[in-house]
Amino acid sequence: MVIQSRNVRELLHTLLKPVHIDAVSFTTSPLQSAVLLASTNGSVISFASSDTTKQDNHSVNNLKMMSLLIRDKWAVDESLVGEQTRYRHKIESQDNENLFSDIYTYEIEDLHACVAQIPQSELLLLFIAETGYPYGLLKLKMQNALLAFKDMYGYKLG
């Protein structure tokens, strides 16, 4: 399977949209960035950033550095059993087989980050949001995003 860059980028761009909760008249800001990266080495495969994030070389370099930092933190936390707070998300596959993905949230500099591995793959999905973005909404957004990436379950790089 080959990753279709345009399709992935469009999906990542869609994930940036703000969350509206009508029942309590609450709207989040859009995510700053949504990134698909390699779990093996942290390289950015594809990304989308909101209009509020300038697309200059400096911000792209910052995104790459944050992606590497989060990937390293994720790798350490994955190796620790029960010592790190994580949200274990169960996903039912088409084969009626249960798949799991651990969702982690981090605070990095003045931003909130949420990362999860696409089930059985070598890919990570990373969201970067402003400090005011609630962690719970990041987790819910990640749960739904993992379902949107179901065609990439089991994807191996190289």
pLDDT tens digits along 84-126: 678 888 887 777 678 889 999 999 888 999 999 999 999 999 9
The predicted model scores a pTM of 0.88
**Is 36 contained in some domain?**
yes
As for how many domains the chain has, the answer is 1
- Burial of residue 71 (CB within 10 Å: 0-12, 13-18, 19+) is buried
pLDDT tens digits along 77-94: 988 876 567 888 888 777
CATH number at residue 37: 3.30.450.30
Per-residue pLDDT, averaged over 43-57, amounts to 75
Q: What is the CA radius of gyration of the chain?
A: 15
**Is 157 contained in some domain?**
no
Q: Is the dihedral of CA 125, 155, 102, 83 positive or negative?
A: negative
Distance CA(65)–CA(113), nearest Å, equals 13
**Is 158 contained in some domain?**
no
